[in-house]
Amino acid sequence: MARCDCGADSGPLGVCADYYHAILAEEQGDPGMYRWHAVVVCAYVLQHPSAGRGKFLDGQFRLLQLYAHQGLDALLRLQAHQVARNNHRARSGYDMRPLTPYAPLPAGGPPAHFRAAFTGLPVSDGSFVADGHPPYGHRIHAVAEATLESWAELLDPGDHHEGQAPHPG
């Protein structure tokens, strides 16, 4: 069985990239599913940093913390605020102030393992939301929490958990 870069076993669709692209395709036609888009993107690139653009990882880590702390509506409000700001020619650039209270991306990543992975997401009849949007949201939330949890462990190297293999390289 193939193993993904993030340490997860592959699932019926393949590795996490296969799940990620299937989610991005399905959410295009489903606004209820698309509400979770930013959480999906942040969790995916933080679990697979080689797939993302490194200079955005810190902001994505903070954004995921904001989501975990304040909820999805707060994340969506912040994004709407950023879009409005970028559309206003007189004031360009991102407003990073809402993200400054959150921890910066720890050095030494990525973590070797995450408690919940994209390959663990159930797909039924080719859909991630076959059982509705709330259960899908709960599953994405679990992946987001697992992502933050593993990264946060890098912040406190003195707090070792048993059975954790060092990251190769």
Which residues would be at the binding site for Zn ion (CB under 5 A)? Answer: 4, 6, 8, 16
Q: What residues pair up with 3 in beta bridges, in sequence order?
A: 9
Q: Compute the least distance from the CB of residue 150 to Zn ion, in Å.
A: 12
> Is 4 within 8 Å of 14 (Cβ atoms)?
no
> Is 83 within 8 Å of 134 (Cβ atoms)?
no
- Collapsing DSSP to helix, strand or coil, 158 comes out as coil
CA distance 154 to 166: 11
Q: Compute the least distance from the CB of residue 87 to Zn ion, in Å.
A: 35
Residue among 25 and 90 whose Cβ is closer to Zn ion: 25
CA distance 169 to 167: 6
Q: Compute the least distance from the CB of residue 10 to Zn ion, in Å.
A: 9
Residue among 16 and 43 whose Cβ is closer to Zn ion: 16
Report the candidate in 4, 43, 35, 21 with the shortest Cα–Cα distance to residue 144: 43
Q: Compute the least distance from the CB of residue 114 to Zn ion, in Å.
A: 8
CA distance 135 to 33: 11
Residue among 52 and 82 whose Cβ is closer to Zn ion: 52
Residue among 99 and 128 whose Cβ is closer to Zn ion: 128
